[in-house]
Chains A and B, each alone.
Chain A
Amino acid sequence: MDPMASAVRLAVQEAVRILSSSEDGGHIISTLRSLRRYLGETQTQAPPEEQEEFSRTHFSTVLRCLVGKLSPDWLGLMPDGQLEELWASFFLEGPADQAFLVLMESIEGAASPSFRLMKMAWLLARFLSAGRMAAVMEGQCGQQAGPASRLLQETLLTRVVSLPDRLGNRLQRETLAAFFPQNYFPLLGEEVLRVLHVVVDSLRGGLDCSISFLSQVLGKACVHGRQKEILGVLVPRLTVLTQGNCLWQRVCWRLVECVPDRAMEAVLKGLVEAAPGPDVLSRLLGNLVTKSKKAQFVMTQKLLFLQYSCPTPVLQSLLGYLAMDSQRRLLLMQALKELLETWGSSSAIRHAPLEQQCYISKAVLICLAQLGEAELRASRDELLASLMEGVKSRLDSSLPPVRRLGMIVAEVASARLHPEGPPLKFQYEEDELTREMLALAAPQPAADGPSEAGLPVAPVSGESPDQETVDGGGPQAGHEGSDSELDSDDELIPYDMSGDREQRSSKTPAYVRDCLEALTASEDWERWEAALRALEGLVLKSPAATCEVSLELAKVLLHLEEKTAVAGFEGLRQRALVAVTVTDPARVAEYLAAQFYALNYSLRQRMDILDVLALAAQELSRPGRLGRAAQRGPPGPGSQPSGAMIPDWQVVVEERVRRKTRRFCKGSVGRATAAGPNEFSAVAGYFFFPLLQRFDRPVVTFDLLGDDQLVLGRLAHTLGALIYLAVNTAVAVPMGKALLEFVWALRFHGDTYVRRGLLSAVSSVLLSVPAERLLADLPDELLEARSWLADVAEQDVDEDCRLLAVKALLLLEKLRDRLLPLSSP
C-alpha cells in the first residue's frame, strides 16, 4: 500500500476517533485544525497528493462524523461559537459536490423538527449564498464521463434541481426563503451563468470542457416547470453576452444541443417565450433545428399544431427564427404548407376549438409575411389548392368568427400568392382581432422602423394649422372694405347644422292601404321608399285598418326586394313586418310560420321569418306594452323643447317646499310598470308549432338537416326565444315537450351553431316551464337531457357550447333544489 495514503488514513482515523469520543473543547479544535490542513487553506498546508487523497477518500467520512456530533452541548464546548465556525468551514470550503451531497443527505435523514435539521438548513442556505453551487456544477464540467461519475452526476443532478421540493418536504412551514422555488431557480440561473463564464475562460485558455451537466440541469429545471424563473435570468444575460461574440454563441448553442431529448420541448418553449425577438432566438439556438430531430419536431410541429397557448409575439419570434437562415427557410416553407393544409381541412374547422383556428391563422399570416415572393411562387399551386378548399369550407361555416378568419386569410394569402391578379376583397366588420391579424400580415418593419415612421407625422401636423390660417384669411380679406363699423359680428359661432338634409317630397302615404298599393304597384321610387318608411308608424297607429289587409301586407313585405339603394332597407322592412305581426298575431304568424317551410324562398327570407317571429313575440310579451303604445302619441315633430329650462321661480318654489317638508320615509321613486296579461299567451301556438312541423322533411330548395344548417341553428335559437317569451302561459308545457323532442332528435348535430341553439333552447325550456309540470310531464326527457348536457359540458370542442351546457345543468340543479324542500316535509 502506498505509504502516503496509509498515513493520511491513519491521521483521519485518529481524528474521527477523537471527534466522536472527546468532551474536551480544546482538543477537538486542535483536531479539527489539523484536519483542515488537508483542505489547503491554512498556513501549514499538507502536500498536494495528501490533499487529493483526503478529498477523494476521506472527506465525506469526516463530514458525516461532523454531522453526527452536531448538538447544542457539543457546540457549547468552546465559547463564542468558535467550534461552530470551524465546523461550518469544512462544508463551505471543502470539495463542493461532496459537501452538498452530505448536506442534503443529513437534512433528509434528520428527525424533524430538530436542532440538527435547522442547523443544517441554515448551513445549506449559507452554502448557496456563498456561491458554492457554481462550484458543484463547475466540478462536473471538467470531468470525464466514467460509469461511477455518471452515477454521481445523476445523483447530483436530481439533488440540485429538486432542492426546493426536498427542503420544502422536510422543513414544512419552517422552510427558508432561499429555498423557495421563485428564489432558488433564479439563483441557480446565476450560478449556471457563472459556470459558463468559467467555461468560456477556460476555452479561451485552450482547455477542454464539457457543459453537458449544465444542459442537464437546465433541462431538468425546465421539465419541472421552472422555465420562467431560470430562463428569465439566463436569457437576458446571454442575449447581451452573445452579441457579436462567436465563442459565447458556440457555448450557447452547445448548451441547448446537449439538453436531453426528453427535456428539449420544455427548454425550447421556455427559450422561445423568453427571447425578445427572432434575432436573439437565432443567436441563442443557432441551427439547432437542423441538427436535432427532436428540436425540429418541437419547433415545427408541436408549438404550431399541437399547442395554441403561445401569445402572438412568441409565435412571431418562433417563425421569424425559422426565416432567418436559408437552411431553416425550407422548414418554414414546409411549415406553411402544413399550416395551410390544417387551416383548410374541413374536419379541423369543425372540430378544432376556435382559439386554435385563430392561432393557426395567425401562424399562416406570419409565415406569408416572412416568405419571399419567389419562394411562394415555387409552390404556389399546392398552397392555392389548400387555401381554396379552406376558404370554401370556412365560408360555409355558421360561426361568424370562423367565416371572418377565412376571409382575412384568404384576402392576405391571395394577395401574396397572386400579386398580379385582382385583389380579393371581402366585407367584414373590423374589430380588434381583424386589426391584429391584418397587422401581422404586413411585412415586419426593420428594427428601427417605428422611430422612422414617427418622423414624417410631425411636419404634417405642423403644417395643418398653417393651412387653416391661410384658409381663414381668404374670406376675411374678401369682406374687408365697405362697412367697418359693422364688422364686429365675427364672434357669431355657428350651431351644428349637420341635420340639415334635403326634405323628402311629401308623397308619404297617409293610410295603410295606400302603402300597400305603393309597395306593390308603384313605379315611383320616391313614393315606394316613403311608403316603406311610413308603414311601421301607420300600422301601429291604425290597427283596425291593418287587420283588414294584414295577410296581404305580410305577403308583400316578405317578398319585398330592395330595388333601390334605400338606406336601412332591411331594418325598415323588418320593423314593418314585426308591426304587422304584432297587430294581427294569429293570422300573420300562422302565415309566416307556414311560409317558413314553403318552396320558393331564399335562405335570407326564411331567416327573416324567424327573426320577425321572435321580435314580434318579444313585443307581444312585453309587459305594459299597451300603455306605452298609447303614450307614444304624435310621432316626430312633437319633440318638446329640451327640459333644460325650468323657470327660475319653479326652482325656487321647489327648493322652498323641500326645505319645509319633513319626510318620514320615502317610497320607491320609479313608477311601477302596470301589470297586464301576457298578450303572447293566446297566440304562442301559432308562432311555435308550425315551425316544428316539418324540419325533417327536405324540399327541393330547402334541406334543414343537410346543407342549410345555418337556418337550422337560427331555427333552434328562435324556438328557444319563443318558449322563453311564453313564460307563465299555459301553452308553455306542450311547447316545452315538443321542443325537448326536437332537441333530442338533433343533439349530436355536427355544427357548432346548431348545438348552441339547442343548448340555449334547453335552458329556455327549463326557465319557462314550471318546475312541477316539468317533473310531472317530462321526467324521462329531463333525465335524457341531463346526461346529454353533462356529456357536452365535458367534451364539446366549442367553449360556448360547454358554457351553455353548464348553465343548463345549473338550471336543472336549481330546479331540483327548489322541488326538494317542497317534497321533504
Chain B
Amino acid sequence: MAAPAPDPQFVLRGARSAVHALHFCDGAQGRPLLLSGSLHGLVHVWSLQTRRPLATLDGHGGQCVTWLHTLPWGPQLLSQGRDLKLCLWDLEEGRNAVVDTVCLESVGFCRASVLAEAPRRWMLAVPGRGSDEVQVLELPSKTSVSCLKPAAGARLGMPMCLQLWQAESSPRPLLLAGYEDGSLALWDVSARKVCSRVACHSEPVMGLALDPRRARGVSGSAEKALAVWSLEGQQALQVCGTHELTNPGIADLKIRPDSKILATAGWDHRVRVFQWRTMRPLAVLAFHSATVHCVAFDAAGLLAAGSGDQRISVWSLYPPT
C-alpha cells in the first residue's frame, strides 16, 4: 500500500490574485527567498522563514507578471509583464527599484529566457516583433544579437516558450523554442538557423524543461500528453516518447536541479511529480482549486506551485541526499 498523497509543507497566502510566475533565489545570509508574480502585476518577495512577504514590487502597471528570473551575480531580478516591459530590479540591501527596462514587442504569453554568464555580457531571448519571431538581445547593451524567424513556408505560429543554453563543449549558444503548432525547434543563435525541428505535440507547446547534463528534455502542451525528447549530438532533436496524462493541459514544467524529479503544473489543478530518468509517476498533488500556472524548484529541493486560487503551495518531496 502506497503512502497517502503528501500534504504541502506550508502554503503562502496573500498574493491577492492568481500567481503566474515563481522563482527561488538566494537572499541575504544565504536564506532562500521565493519570488512570485501575480495577475495584477505585483511581484511578492517571500521569506521562507517567516512565510510572509518581505517586499512587494509594483512595476508592471497592474498587468500580469509572467516570468521572473534572478541573475547569478548580485540580487538582480528580471521580471516580464504583459505591459510589454521587462524590468531589471536591483534588490541589493533591501532596495527595490527598477534599474533598467527592456521594451517588448509581443503581447503573447511567451516567457523570456536568459543566458547569463558574466555581468558584462549576457543574453536574453524574448518574443519578437513579428508574430513568429524570437529576438535575442545582448544585455546590458540591449543590442539585438539576432532575430530568429522561421522559414517562410514553415507556419509554426507564435513561439510559446523559450530556453536558451550553451553546451559546455561548444561556444555557440543554442535556443530551444516551442511553437503554437506543437513543434519544437532548436536554433543556432549565431547562425540564425534552425538546426533541427520536431513535431512533438498536436497542440501549442505550453512549456518545456531541459536537462543539459543528459541532453534530454520534456515539453507539455494543451493536449493530454508529455513529450520527452533528446538532443542527439547536441544538434538533432528526437522524440524519445510520450507520457499520457489523466487530464489535458500543462502550463509549466521544471526539472529539479539534481535531475531527479520533474514537476508539472496542470490545468487540472494538480501538480504531478515524475521520476525524471524513467518518467515514472511519483505523486499527484491535488491541493489547489484552480489551474496551476507555474512550478519552481529551489537548490535545496523545495517545490513551489502557484495557482489561480491565489495560493502558493510549498512542498518538500524526496529530499535530495
Contacts and interface: CB of A to CB of B under 8 A. Distances in A.
Given A482-B214, A500-B246, A637-B288, A493 B2 contact: yes
Contacts of A489: 260-261, 275, 277
A489 B259 CA distance: 10
A492 B2 contact: no
Interface string A640-651: 011011000000
A497 B272 CA distance: 10
A706 interface: no
B73 interface: no
Contacts of A501: 246
B107 to A, nearest CB: 26
B268 interface: yes
Given A475-B278, A493-B2, 9 more contacts: A479-B278, A483-B213, A492-B282, A494-B281, A494-B283, A495-B2, A501-B246, A503-B246, A636-B289
Contacts of A494: 2, 280-283
Interface in A484-506: 486-487, 489, 492-497, 499-503
Contacts of A475: 278
Contacts of B318: 492
A333 to B, nearest CB: 53
Contacts of B236: none
Contacts of A497: 2, 5, 281, 283-284
A484 to B, nearest CB: 11
A496 B270 contact: no
Contacts of A644: 7
A142 B275 CA distance: 93
A642 B7 contact: yes
B268 to A, nearest CB: 4
Interface centre among A475, A489, A496, A499, by most B CB within 10 Å? Answer: A489
B167 interface: no
A486 B259 contact: yes
B191 interface: no
Contacts of A641: 7-11, 287
20 contacts: A479-B277, A489-B260, A489-B275, A492-B318, A493-B2, A496-B2, A497-B281, A497-B283, A499-B284, A500-B246, A501-B246, A502-B246, A502-B247, A503-B269, A636-B289, A637-B287, A637-B289, A641-B8, A641-B10, A642-B7
Q: Which 6 residue pairs are nearest across A and B when measured between Cβ atoms? A: A637-B289, A496-B2, A495-B283, A641-B7, A500-B284, A503-B268
A172 B92 CA distance: 106
Contacts of B283: 494-495, 497
Interface string B205-228: 000000001100000000000000
Contacts of B282: 492-495
Nearest to A644: B7
A413 B257 CA distance: 69
A487 B277 contact: yes
Contacts of B275: 489, 492
A483 B214 CA distance: 7
Contacts of A642: 7
B133 interface: no
A479 B284 CA distance: 24
A512 B178 CA distance: 43
Nearest to A647: B10
Interface string B1-19: 1111111111100000000
A496 B1 CA distance: 8
A41 B269 CA distance: 106
Contacts of B203: none
Nearest to A501: B246
Nearest to A636: B289
B286 interface: yes
Nearest to B284: A500
A492 B3 contact: no
A500 B270 contact: yes
Contacts of B8: 641
Given A492-B260, A492-B318, A499 B286 contact: yes
A236 B245 CA distance: 68
Interface string B247-265: 1000000000001110000
A495 B280 contact: no
A573 to B, nearest CB: 26
Nearest to B8: A641
Contacts of B3: 493, 495-496
Interface string B52-69: 000000000000000000
Interface string B268-300: 111000010110111110111100000000000
B309 interface: yes
B281 to A, nearest CB: 6
A493 B8 CA distance: 17
Contacts of A482: 214
A466 to B, nearest CB: 22
A167 to B, nearest CB: 66
Contacts of A645: 7, 9
A630 B286 CA distance: 26
A153 B281 CA distance: 90
A486 B246 contact: no
Nearest to B286: A499
A500 B270 CA distance: 9
Contacts of A638: 289
A636 B288 CA distance: 10
A637 B309 contact: yes
B21 to A, nearest CB: 22
Contacts of B269: 503, 637
B6 to A, nearest CB: 6
Contact of B4 (A493, A495, A503): A495
Interface centre among B7, B8, B318, by most A CB within 10 Å? Answer: B7
A701 B259 CA distance: 72
A628 B213 CA distance: 56
Interface centre among B10, B259, B269, B283, by most A CB within 10 Å? Answer: B283
A209 to B, nearest CB: 71
A486 B277 contact: yes
A482 B261 CA distance: 18
Contacts of B5: 495-497, 499
Contacts of B286: 499-500
Given A482-B214, A489-B275, A496 B280 contact: no
Interface centre among A482, A493, A496, by most B CB within 10 Å? Answer: A496
A720 to B, nearest CB: 42
A17 to B, nearest CB: 97
Interface centre among A493, A503, A645, by most B CB within 10 Å? Answer: A503
B246 to A, nearest CB: 5
A502 B261 CA distance: 23
Given A486-B214, A637-B289, A642-B7, A503 B247 contact: yes
B10 to A, nearest CB: 7
A489 B8 CA distance: 22
A507 to B, nearest CB: 15
A646 to B, nearest CB: 12
Contacts of B246: 500-503
Contacts of B278: 475, 479
A633 to B, nearest CB: 13
Nearest to B245: A500
Contacts of A496: 1-5
